[in-house]
Amino acid sequence: MKDISTKLVNAGKDEALQVIDTINPPLHRASTVLFDSYADMLKANKGEYEGIDYGTCGLGAQKAFEAAMVELEGAYGCKSFQSGIAAIAMVLMAYTKQSDHILICDNVYGPTRHFCDGFLAKYGVETEYLPSDAGAGVVDYIRENTKLLFMESPGSNTFEIQDISAITEVCRTKSVVTVIDNTWATPLYFNPFEHGIDVSIQSCTKYITGHSDILLGTVSTNEQSWDTFNKCCGLFEVYAAQEDCYQGLRGLRTLKVRLKAHEQAALEVAKWLANHEMVESVIHPALESHPQHDLWERYFKGSSGLFAFTLKEQYEDIDHSPFVDNLELFGLGYSWGGYKSLITGGKFRRTNHFGYEGKTLFRLNIGLEDVEDLKVDLKQGLEQLKG
């Protein structure tokens, strides 16, 4: 008979080890992963063990989610991170070193820019910003020490599109690693690897998890770029939590139907806004009025639920609070891709070739509410601005 203290440590274990065949992967809670034999441990000591030897390698739900992303995107490998920006930061660190030069499209997500200017600069990596509608002309920006080119297409605030294949063609001949933040389109509406991109990033916080309750990011790469990235991740040992990866995987199961619903509703609201007497322009890549609509059609299989609009001149330099604060269905908050409609607004300050520089831009995340209800809400909100 074992002592009670030994029982406390070991009781219940055999039952827990029984394999229960569920549809979804189990959630492991583990730092330590037990080896079958001493021989396996000796292999792990030398870095030659094939299996998972510690919790930081990623356990069931992480592996399942990453494998799903690899399959979806046609990638070689995928790693998950605790947020989209953590994924972006890891990519920017993995492929650069002191004295390198990198190119970033000017329309990138703000925090991506802050990471380059606030962190990479400290380590002697020079960032140069490309026009947001960049194409084959990037050849003129590439220097001897240019290592990476980062795209975001369409940009998640201003929706400029890069001529992706023209860029990857140039970069391939110059050994510049190409990266895209593919959050807007998701792997469903744009496949980076089919267009010669080396590294694809998703903020799964948006459509993939889809419920505004998870922060999660992924990085997928092609075969050629995998080793460099994987090794860097191994040094940092940063990765996403089990529960969040589980939710990421769960989100994938319904992504197609959710995205279709977001797409259709957003198109309806965008077209309605385009005809509204107070609206100057609607910035939505799938509308013919978008300055790069042709490029969008060439690359994308669909559009998502995020777009922006500006108001006519007489409503530009006024207090917009009566509009925004009186919306009933649109939450006022950052992020997007979730089931609830959201609005953000503010002056647009970066360089832009579409004439929106210095204008107030309202960005809408169209959720899964009824479209007519959303229109009624926007209509009454806009009415509040009429003096």
CB-nearer residue toward ligand PLP: 192 or 217: 217
Binder of ligand PLP out of 25, 58, 84, 187 (CB under 6 A)? 84
Report if residue 85 touches ligand PLP, rule: CB under 6 A. yes
Write down the least CB distance from residue 348 to ligand PLP, Å.
Answer: 16
Tell me the C-alpha to C-alpha distance, in Å, between residue 96 and each of 61, 147, 179, 301. Answer: 30, 7, 13, 32
Write down the least CB distance from residue 305 to ligand PLP, Å.
Answer: 12
CB-nearer residue toward ligand PLP: 100 or 244: 244
3 state SS of 108: coil
Among 66-74, 80-88, 262-270, 344-352, the segment contacting ligand PLP (CB under 6 A): 80-88
CB-nearer residue toward ligand PLP: 184 or 193: 184
Burial class (CB in 10 A: 0-12, 13-18, 19+), 95: buried
Token couple for 121: 């600069």
Report if residue 205 touches ligand PLP, rule: CB under 6 A. yes
Report if residue 218 touches ligand PLP, rule: CB under 6 A. no
Binder of ligand PLP out of 106, 133, 163, 181 (CB under 6 A)? 181
375 Cβ neighbours under 8 A, 6+ residues apart: 268, 269, 272
Total chain residues near ligand PLP (CB under 6 A): 13
Tell me the C-alpha to C-alpha distance, in Å, between residue 141 and each of 65, 116, 153, 179, 195. Answer: 37, 17, 19, 16, 21
Q: Which residue has its beta carbon closest to ligand PLP?
A: 84
Q: How many C-beta neighbours within 10 Å does residue 178 have?
A: 26
Binder of ligand PLP out of 210, 217, 367, 381 (CB under 6 A)? 217
Q: How many C-beta neighbours within 10 Å does residue 118 have?
A: 10
Strands laid side by side in the 177-181 sheet: 77-81, 217-221, 199-203, 177-181, 146-152, 101-105, 126-130
Report if residue 83 touches ligand PLP, rule: CB under 6 A. yes
Tell me the C-alpha to C-alpha distance, in Å, between residue 148 and each of 92, 104, 125, 143, 199. Answer: 8, 8, 11, 11, 10
Tell me the C-alpha to C-alpha distance, in Å, between residue 223 and each of 73, 197, 199, 229. Answer: 13, 11, 10, 10
Write down the least CB distance from residue 251 to ligand PLP, Å.
Answer: 13
Cα–Cα distance measured from residue 168 to residue 146, given in angstroms and rounded to the nearest whole number:
14
Report if residue 203 touches ligand PLP, rule: CB under 6 A. yes
CB-nearer residue toward ligand PLP: 344 or 381: 344
Write down the least CB distance from residue 381 to ligand PLP, Å.
Answer: 24
Binder of ligand PLP out of 65, 95, 109, 315 (CB under 6 A)? 109
Token couple for 281: 């322009």
Binder of ligand PLP out of 127, 146, 153, 156 (CB under 6 A)? 156
Report if residue 303 touches ligand PLP, rule: CB under 6 A. no
DSSP summary character for residue 59: -
CB-nearer residue toward ligand PLP: 53 or 152: 152
Stretch 309-338: interaction string toward ligand PLP, x if CB under 6 A: --------------------------x---
CB 189 within 8 A of CB 302: yes
* Phi and psi, residue 53, nearest 5°: -110, -5
Q: How many C-beta neighbours within 10 Å does residue 98 have?
A: 8
Report if residue 183 touches ligand PLP, rule: CB under 6 A. yes
Stretch 10-29: interaction string toward ligand PLP, x if CB under 6 A: --------------------
Report if residue 344 touches ligand PLP, rule: CB under 6 A. no
Report if residue 182 touches ligand PLP, rule: CB under 6 A. no
Report if residue 282 touches ligand PLP, rule: CB under 6 A. no
Residues that bind ligand PLP (CB under 6 A): 83-85, 109, 152, 156, 181, 183, 203, 205, 215, 217, 335
